[in-house]
Structure 1
Amino acid sequence: MTNLVRNINAALDSISAHWQPHRLTSINDYDVKVVKIQGEFVWHTHPDTDELFMVISGNLTIQLRDGDVVLGPNDIYVVPKGTEHCPKAENEVQALLFEPKGTVNTGDAGGDMTATLRELG
């Protein structure tokens, strides 16, 4: 990926499908992804990495086995590696994800919601 200035809002405007992250940029061995979220995802873990969620707009609930974490605009939460979680949003959420390159959105769960990482134009 070339070193271009990227606008988060413009990137989010270009996304039409929920749960389909797009790479906004990369830094070292990490991808910064934009994603639109609505509905409930799948319970999963990322055994080898933490996952950072930053909400741009909307309200995101990250369900954990020992209680929910609720995020609003400009909130950040890190799901520790190996922690089973299930994001959900009643209404559309726009968010950034920070993850090591190659991280699969469904972690160890796989299934129909597994996305192929898309590049922004």
Structure 2
Amino acid sequence: MSSSYAPINLKSRIDAITTHWTPQHVLTLNKTHSLKLATIFGAFIWHSHPETDEMFYCVSGGPFKIELSTQARSPEEAERLGADEVVEVGVGDVFNVLRGVMHRPVAEVETGILMIEKVGTVNTGDREGDERTVRVDEAS
């Protein structure tokens, strides 16, 4: 008999992901927050999440960097100004990007990450509709 009370192995779930930058739903917490896994490699696009913080946990690989453009008010401005802060996140580390801060993850090696964010948050934030935007089914 299977149980709905089984643990979820993040490393095994990461290992099953075959495409970088495509978040996969793990679970919904309190109907308000979504836990998503992804593998990343290379640089993502500059973006922010105006309505929510975004927490990153490095599960495997890494380290990876989160570039922050704290003075920028738009993705285009972040592209022009570049990073004024760079945070390195290693396996086992957690980092929270505050609501509204322009950021982009960059991974020089394939890295598995866990993200925690409000339900309905898309990976490209205020650049929703970009070719890298992924809508994740967070129903469970």
Identity of aligned residues (%): 38
Find the counterpart in structure 2 of residue 10 from structure 1.
12
Q: Number of residues paired by the alignment?
A: 118
1:116 counterpart = 2:118: no
Matched letter for residue 51 of structure 1: E
In structure 2, runs of 5+ residues without a counterpart are: 70-83
Determine if contact 1:21/1:118 at 8 Å carries over to the other structure.
no
Matched, 1:55 2:73: no
**By how many angstroms is 1:34 displaced?**
0.8
TM-score with structure 2 setting the length:
0.79
Q: 1:31-81 CA deviation, whole Å, 9 max, x = no partner?
A: 111110001100000001000000012111100122111111101100000
1:45 and 2:66 aligned: no
> Between Structure 1 and Structure 2, which shows a larger proportion of strand residues?
1
| Deviant stretches of 4+, over 6 Å | none
**Structure 1 residue 7: Cα displacement:** 1.2
User: Secondary structure of the equivalent of 1:117?
Assistant: coil
Query: Where is the helix percentage greater, Structure 1 or Structure 2?
Result: 2
Question: The residue matched to 1:108 in structure 2 has which SS?
Answer: helix
| Structure index of larger Rg | 2
Report the alpha carbon displacement of residue 5 of structure 1 after superposing the two structures with TM.
2.7
* Gaps in structure 1 of 5+ consecutive residues: none
